[in-house]
Amino acid sequence: MTSPILNVENLKVAFNVGDDRWRQIVHGISFNVREKETVAIVGESGSGKSVSAMALMRLLPEQSTRVSGSVRLADKELLTLHEEQMRRVRGDDIAMIFQEPMTSLNPVFTVGFQLVEAIRLHRDISRADARMEAKKLLEKVRISDADTRLDDYPDAFSGGMRQRVMIAMALACNPKVLIADEPTTALDVTIQAEILDLIRTLQDEERLAVLFITHDMGVVAQIADRTLVMYEGNIVEQGPTERLFRSAEHPYTRALLAAVPRLGESAGHTRPMRFPVVDIETGKVDSPGESPDTVDDGRTVLEVVDLTTRYPITSGVFNRVILNVHAVEKISFTLKAGETLALVGESGCGKSTTGRSILRLTQPTSGSVIVNGNDIVSLGPKQLREARRDMQMVFQDPFASLNPRHTLGDAIKEPLYAHGFKKGASDRVADLLTRVGLTPDMSRRYPHELSGGQRQRVCIARALALEPKLIVADEPVAALDASIKAKVVNLMLDLQASMQLAYLFISHDMAVVERISHRVAVMYLGEIVEIGPRSAVFGNPQHPYTKKLLSAVPEADPSTRSKKRSLSTSTELKSPFRSVDYRPPARTYRTVSKGHQVQEWGEEWNKEFYCM
Amino acid sequence: MAAVSRRPTIAIGATLFATMALLAVFAPLLGTTDPTAINPTARLQWPSAEHWFGTDMAGRDIYSRVIYGARVSLIVGVSVALLASVFGLFIGILAGFIRGLDGVLMRIMDGLMSIPSILLAIALVALTQGSLASVITAITIAEVPRVTRVIRSVVLSLREQPYVDAAISAGTTTPMIILRHILPNTLAPLTVQATYLCASAMIIEAVLSFVGAGMPPSTPSWGNIMAEGRAIWQVRLNIVLFPALFLSLTVLAVNLLGDGLRDALDPRAQRNA
């Protein structure tokens, strides 16, 4: 075993919260990272994991933070190092990559220029040599046509490609330690898998020590040799990743692990499964069962037929249409009372537009959406308002979906008032708040006083106010921490059981989808490529894209890590932008088993899939 | 209110502005003589105990005229600020909410904005007779596009908020959405914009009067007084100096108020404070 290259001893961080009052954010943590080792710091938002990383890079503002303890890189103490020398340490010895690849490159310079600058900042070599070096770096991070790509501007690179460039930049000076702060959180799962593979491979090649910060237990399982679990500024548990997943000791770790959906857990069950709930004090886990049978086959709540939504892209003085974005292209499905249909796909596949088109928050181009015998697409404003009583929406961002100026009570009353139910509205609000697991006295509070999970509960309460039959939930748990996510999903399952709600659950998270859904529809470039009962789609996926999506989900099980995928160059979503005269091809569907249909796919898929 | 007390610019601006307003309101009590009374025996006097700011070529008391002039300036400034805010708010919300109107309305606004506001105001006053109402109307028309632009951009960004989508799906009618979700959020930028409008309107009014395209010459307004003293400012500086001083102080007061409000109403600034 090699000696630790990075040694952190009793690191404490406090923030100034005004008037000379200090709040302790990190309460003295100690850990080390060895050569060629990946150590993950995992924790939920506010646990102090990113602050710790910033502190050891000395990136926190000095006036408003107090850092104490010791951070040793090999035999250098970083916390007392002169700022000038510290600057050389960053990049030369320790490099860092961040979450947001879209904003970490300067859009007005070519990628090559920025790489060359980064190299020449640390090494005294000529421009031409630096360019050669930059080309090698791009090849190292598996960007094809490195030579020509150097002259491209960042806008020609997608999110995953930019993260590769950021990694290349981080590697420019052969650092000994790489700190990765949620580097894959903003990326789609298939891209995430590629980036994780890349980091793993580069680590072998470059003998890097990696400190990997994440909230995602699935990612941890895939990448980390050792794992530190942080909770409220303390490391509550640390150890080899395999041991941690096999037999976690601290209740919080168990809670975190219980909240991680594992793909395949629901195999053999046809109905949704509640998340297990862990008591954070005792660490006891309740055993979740299958939710009760809620589907009423006789009652169709929603019928979507050939729904198409296109956005024109216009240009020039006369707003000439130059391109069409085919966001949703001829999709059809039905939804029964008490049933959950999950709409899955990666960003840009049109799943959110589908949800918005169903409520006609976005005007569909053609097709029909039938709710209660009415075609939503062709209703007049008055009838539309009436029809929307049966369907409500829950949005992804719980911070933006409540008006900051209104109390929670006012927010929940809004739909009641809009439909003229003034009498008893306050009682109804109290009842709804109780139903979503909050207390009636919260109705006088403002959104900013609430946590993300609580806000999402309020949004659900507001959606339930008119007793709708259908709820379109657009990524309702994507912005929440794992433990909160589990609770909100459980709440949604309980509400479905008690109110026979139908959910259209839009999500990119395959593992959550597996828990909550009865049926699954996989979307790719605006079309449904596969739809069927959850057990069929997950157990017997047909379409190459479904297979790719499922295989990319990081499994929260370290023992599966050995089956490494080959390092493919980026395989990102194609663009839904089409010229004005584009006619979408006619599609045919093949029935695999009862209710399980898959779109027939062309040659391009066979090629792409098998070369992976 | 706590934010106001912590910001000296608001306090200074408000005090100065209130003083001017009091002068204007109580002008009949404060003025030593009738501002329009001509006294040929006391022409072009330097400031004295009898005529504090001196007299002009017709022997009128400049102090009284300046005090009365505050009325014109403040009425024009405040009226234009209110009227332009109301119209700008209305047109801005229309443009932001009704897609078909957006293009047409905003092109008209662009057209109006492409003409310098003073030129536009002169042209508009020239169409009518110089009177308080026509001056206010002319300056209002010249200033509306600025408000419209600000409001439209605020409305467009608010419309994208998920809570507005939620209100739409809840069945809230468009007027109610505007009332509950849009209007309250436009008030802060509108208030700030209104103070700048007020300052700019007072300057434009003075310029209009100065070039003879504003208030009738007999009316005591700061621009008129300065116009009368223009030809002889090298020998009788007091005629131009005092109205100019008052105009500068009033505009400064309003601008200080505007700056203070802008900082106080900015949520980012609030967090730091």
pLDDT in tens, B148-195: 999 999 999 998 888 999 999 888 888 899 999 999 889 888 999 999
Pick among A17, A319, A414, A464 to test the B interface (most B CBs inside 10 A)? A414
pLDDT for A280 = 64
Residue type, A577: F
Which of B103, B163, B168 lies closest to A403 in CB terms?
B163
Rounded CA separation A199/A461 (Å): 43
Contact B165 A361 (CB under 8 A): yes
> For chain A, how many structural domains are there in total?
2
Set of chain A residues whose Cβ sits within 8 Å of the Cβ of B103:
319
Nearest chain B residue to A356, by CA: B165
What percent of chain B has a predicted confidence (pLDDT) above 70?
A: 94
Average pLDDT over residues A540-549: 88
Residue A501 has pLDDT above 50, yes or no: yes
Average pLDDT over residues A538-549: 88
Nearest chain A residue to B173, by CA: A418
**Contact by Cβ (8 Å): B121, B208:** yes
Give the pLDDT band of residue A393 (cuts 50, 70, 90). very high
Give the pLDDT band of residue B271 (cuts 50, 70, 90). very low
What percent of chain A has a predicted confidence (pLDDT) above 70?
A: 91
Residue A373 covered by a domain: yes
Q: Which of A142-156, A369-383, B255-269 has the lowest mean pLDDT?
A: B255-269
Set of chain A residues whose Cβ sits within 8 Å of the Cβ of B173:
385, 418
- Higher per-residue pLDDT: A145 or A572: A145
Nearest-neighbour CA in chain B from A64: distance (Å): 13
Q: Is A528 helix (H, G, I), strand (E, B) or coil?
A: strand
Contact A392 B169 (CB under 8 A): yes
Rounded CA separation B115/A603 (Å): 61
Set of chain A residues whose Cβ sits within 8 Å of the Cβ of B165:
356, 361, 393, 395, 401
Which of A395, A406, A418 lies closest to B170 in CB terms?
A418
Half-sphere exposure (Cβ direction) of A149: Cα atoms closer than 13 Å: 21
Give A 525-554 residues with CB within 8 A of chain B: none
DSSP class of residue A438 equals -
Pick among B107, B158, B163, B173 to test the A interface (most A CBs inside 10 A)? B163
Residues A388, A254 within the same domain: no
Distances (CA, A) of A246 to A240, A255, A263, A559, B81: 10, 14, 17, 10, 70
Which of A361, A389, A411 lies closest to B168 in CB terms?
A361
Rounded CA separation A494/A340 (Å): 13
Residue A540 has pLDDT above 50, yes or no: yes
DSSP class of residue A567 equals -
Which of B162, B167, B169 lies closest to A359 in CB terms?
B169
Residue A158 has pLDDT above 90, yes or no: no
pLDDT for A169 = 87
Which H or E run includes A33? strand A22-34
pLDDT for B272 = 40
Contact B171 A466 (CB under 8 A): yes
* Domain CATH number, residue A333: 3.40.50.300
**Per-residue 3-state assignment (H helix, E strand, C coil) for B171-193:** CCCHHHHHHHHHHHHHHHHHHHH
Residue A321 covered by a domain: yes
Residues A98, A18 within the same domain: yes
pLDDT for A607 = 57
Residues A23, A122 within the same domain: yes
Pick among B97, B107, B159, B169 to test the A interface (most A CBs inside 10 A)? B169
Residues A231, A304 within the same domain: no
Tracing tokens 């003589």 back to the chain, one arrives at: B33
Report pLDDT digits (tens) over A459-489: 999 999 999 999 999 989 888 887 788 888 9
Task: Measure CA of the first residue to CA of the last residue in chain B; give whole Å.
Answer: 13
Set of chain A residues whose Cβ sits within 8 Å of the Cβ of B167:
414, 418
Contact B162 A395 (CB under 8 A): yes
pLDDT for A294 = 78
pLDDT for A612 = 38
Pick among A402, A403, A472 to test the B interface (most B CBs inside 10 A)? A403
pLDDT for B197 = 92
Contact B166 A395 (CB under 8 A): yes
Set of chain A residues whose Cβ sits within 8 Å of the Cβ of B170:
388, 392, 414-415, 418, 462, 465-466
Report pLDDT digits (tens) over A404-433: 889 999 999 999 999 888 888 999 999 999
DSSP track, A185-239 = TTS-HHHHHHHHHHHHHHHHHHT-EEEEEES-HHHHHHH-SEEEEEETTEEEEEE
CB-based contact (8 Å) between A462 and chain B? yes
CB-based contact (8 Å) between B162 and chain A? yes
Set of chain A residues whose Cβ sits within 8 Å of the Cβ of B176:
418
Which of A361, A397, A405 lies closest to B169 in CB terms?
A361
Residues A302, A249 within the same domain: no
pLDDT for A267 = 66
Rounded CA separation A530/A545 (Å): 9
Average pLDDT over residues A490-496: 91
Nearest-neighbour CA in chain A from B183: distance (Å): 12
Rounded CA separation A164/A415 (Å): 46
Residue A583 has pLDDT above 90, yes or no: no
Contact B169 A393 (CB under 8 A): yes
Tracing tokens 């997608």 back to the chain, one arrives at: A158
User: A320: how many CB neighbours lie within 10 A of its CB?
Assistant: 11
Residue A322: what are its φ and ψ, rounded to 5°? -105, -30
Residue type, A372: N
* N residues, chain A: 612
Residues A494, A540 within the same domain: yes
Report pLDDT digits (tens) over A91-121: 788 988 887 766 778 888 898 998 898 888 8
Residues A106, A13 within the same domain: yes
Quote ipTM for the complex: 0.76
Half-sphere exposure (Cβ direction) of A454: Cα atoms closer than 13 Å: 14
Rounded CA separation A536/A519 (Å): 9
CB-based contact (8 Å) between B180 and chain A? yes
pTM comes to 0.80
Residue A266 covered by a domain: no
Contact B170 A465 (CB under 8 A): yes
Residue B46: what are its φ and ψ, rounded to 5°? -75, 165
Set of chain A residues whose Cβ sits within 8 Å of the Cβ of B180:
403, 406, 414
Contact A402 B163 (CB under 8 A): yes
Residue B3 has pLDDT above 70, yes or no: no
Set of chain B residues whose Cβ sits within 8 Å of the Cβ of A460:
none
Domain ranges of chain B: 2-268
Average pLDDT over residues B107-135: 87
CA dihedral A47, A51, A53, A57 (to 10 degrees): -170
Residues A243, A141 within the same domain: yes
Nearest-neighbour CA in chain A from B168: distance (Å): 8
Residue A279 covered by a domain: no
Nearest chain A residue to B272, by CA: A18
Give the pLDDT band of residue B86 (cuts 50, 70, 90). very high
Which of B171, B176, B181 lies closest to A389 in CB terms?
B171
CB-based contact (8 Å) between B165 and chain A? yes
Nearest-neighbour CA in chain B from A479: distance (Å): 14
* N residues, chain B: 273
Residue A426 covered by a domain: no
Q: What would the two tokens of residue A17 be?
A: 């919260």
Q: Is A404 helix (H, G, I), strand (E, B) or coil?
A: coil
Nearest-neighbour CA in chain A from B178: distance (Å): 13
Contact B162 A385 (CB under 8 A): no
Residue type, A220: V
Rounded CA separation A567/A193 (Å): 10
Report pLDDT digits (tens) over A249-274: 888 888 778 777 666 666 667 788 77
**Contact by Cβ (8 Å): B219, B71:** no
Q: What would the two tokens of residue B54 be?
A: 């001196």
Contact A415 B171 (CB under 8 A): yes
Residue type, A21: R
Residues A227, A350 within the same domain: no
Mean pLDDT of chain B: 86
B2-268 placed in CATH 1.20.1080.10: no
Average pLDDT over residues A564-574: 50
Report pLDDT digits (tens) over A312-360: 887 776 777 878 888 898 999 999 999 999 999 887 788 889 999 999 9
pLDDT for A610 = 42
CB-based contact (8 Å) between A361 and chain B? yes
Which of A319, A405, A414 lies closest to B170 in CB terms?
A414
| Residue-range definition of the domain harbouring residue A225 | 4-258
Residue of A263, A357, A308, A342 lying closest to A506 (CA atoms)? A342
Residue A30 has pLDDT above 50, yes or no: yes
Q: What would the two tokens of residue B21 be?
A: 């307003």
Burial B98-132 (b: 16+ CB within 10 A, else e): eeeeeeebbeebeebbeeebbebbbebbeeeebeb
pLDDT for B263 = 81
Residue A562 has pLDDT above 60, yes or no: no
Residue type, A217: M
Radius of gyration of the CA atoms of chain A, in A: 26
What percent of chain A has a predicted confidence (pLDDT) above 90?
A: 25
pLDDT for A595 = 86
Residues A318, A172 within the same domain: no
Q: Which residues contact A348 (CB under 8 A, 6 or more apart)?
A: A573, A576
Residue type, B109: M
Set of chain B residues whose Cβ sits within 8 Å of the Cβ of A356:
165
Tracing tokens 């109580």 back to the chain, one arrives at: B26
Residue B273 has pLDDT above 50, yes or no: no
Residues A307, A210 within the same domain: no
pLDDT for B41 = 80
**Strands A391-394, A374-375: pairing kind:** unpaired
Nearest-neighbour CA in chain A from B172: distance (Å): 5
Q: Which residues contact A38 (CB under 8 A, 6 or more apart)?
A: A200, A203, A209, A210, A211, A212, A223, A224, A225, A226
Q: Is A380 helix (H, G, I), strand (E, B) or coil?
A: coil
pLDDT for B204 = 92
